[in-house]
Structure 1
Amino acid sequence: MTLAEEFRSRNFSIYGQWTGVLCIVLCFALGIANIFHANFVIAFSIVCLVFSFVIIFIEIPLLLRICPTSPKFDAFIRKFETNYMRAAIYLVMSIVQWLSLLAMVTSLIVPALFLLFAAVFYALAGFKGQAFQGSKTLGGQGVAQMII
């Protein structure tokens, strides 16, 4: 299945996964950009950076096979294999970033918004009863098993 066919499939988990990939870039870039504030926003910037690395392993399953990680971390990441669990983790990450507005209004609102979009896409996939379908481009559906 090509990338265009994946988007035409109307499976919200594909939309959530690609929104998650966008969140990786946004969390990393804006986490670094906001780390230079001289107030409590620094803590939210660091958390945003950590979120970007967690999302990488959630959304790109191929990395769990090729990167040396601990069994505890692998077990933690494997908890998020269903649409509802992914919606929950994205919602929690979004809420944390929305809380950064209490310290100061910064560009961290953008990752908060896109994390919320990803949570909504995964929740819609769960509510519609769509099975989680990982993108082949990101290492889903058998690509990770071919490396073994």
Structure 2
Amino acid sequence: MTLAEEFRSRNFSIYGQWTGVLSMILCFAVGISNFFAAPLRIIFGALCFASSFVILFIEVPFLLRICPTSSTFDAFIRRFTTNWMRAGMYTILSAIQWASLVSGASSLIAAAVTLIVAAAFYALAGMKSQEFVGSKTLGGQGVAQMIV
């Protein structure tokens, strides 16, 4: 299945996965840029930066096979295999970034918005009882087995 066919499938988990990748890139950039801000915002920037790596391992599953990680970390990441678990994880990550408003408005709001949009896509997939379908481009549906 090509990327265009994946988007035409109307499976909200595909939309959530690609929005998650966008969120990961945004969290990485915004997290770094907030390292040079007010002291409280540095903490939220570090949390945003760290969440980008968690999202990376969740959304690109073949990385668990090629990167040396601990069995504890692998078990934690493997929890997020259903649409509802991913929606919950993205909601929590978004809530953390919305809490950064305590330190004033900043670019962390952009990360919070994309994270909550990803959560909404996964929640819609869960409400419609769609099975989680990983994008082939990101290592889903047998790509991880072909690499190893």
Tell me the TM-score normalised to structure 1 length: 0.99
Runs of 4+ in 1 over 3 A off after TM superposition: none
1:52-71 alignment to 2 at 5 Å? 52-71=52-71
Gaps (5+ residues) in structure 1?
A: none
Residues in 2 aligned to 1:38 and 1:144: alpha-carbon distance in whole angstroms: 42
Residues in 2 aligned to 1:25 and 1:78: alpha-carbon distance in whole angstroms: 21
Q: How far is the alpha carbon of 1:70 from its aligned partner?
A: 0.2
SS of alignment partner, residue 40 of structure 1: helix
Q: How far is the alpha carbon of 1:39 from its aligned partner?
A: 2.6
1:106 equivalent to 2:106? Answer yes
Aligned length: 148
Q: How far is the alpha carbon of 1:34 from its aligned partner?
A: 1.1
Q: How far is the alpha carbon of 1:58 from its aligned partner?
A: 0.3
1:10 equivalent to 2:27? Answer no
Corresponding residue number in structure 2 for 1:46: 46
Query: For residue 100 of structure 2, what is the amino acid of its counterpart?
Result: S
SS of alignment partner, residue 39 of structure 2: coil
Query: For residue 91 of structure 1, what is the amino acid of its counterpart?
Result: T
The Cα RMSD (Å) is 0.6
- CA deviation string 1:4-37 (max 9, x = no partner): 0000000000000000000111000010111101
Q: How far is the alpha carbon of 1:38 from its aligned partner?
A: 2.5
Corresponding residue number in structure 2 for 1:28: 28
- CA deviation string 1:69-125 (max 9, x = no partner): 000000000000000000000000000000000111101000000000000000000
SS of alignment partner, residue 44 of structure 1: helix
Corresponding residue number in structure 2 for 1:117: 117
Residues in 2 aligned to 1:143 and 1:76: alpha-carbon distance in whole angstroms: 21
Query: For residue 81 of structure 2, what is the amino acid of its counterpart?
Result: E
Query: For residue 117 of structure 1, what is the amino acid of its counterpart?
Result: V
Residues in 2 aligned to 1:141 and 1:117: alpha-carbon distance in whole angstroms: 24
Corresponding residue number in structure 2 for 1:94: 94
Residues in 2 aligned to 1:71 and 1:34: alpha-carbon distance in whole angstroms: 31
Query: For residue 61 of structure 2, what is the amino acid of its counterpart?
Result: P
SS of alignment partner, residue 114 of structure 1: helix
Tell me the TM-score normalised to structure 2 length: 0.99
Identity level (%): 66
Q: How far is the alpha carbon of 1:145 from its aligned partner?
A: 1.2
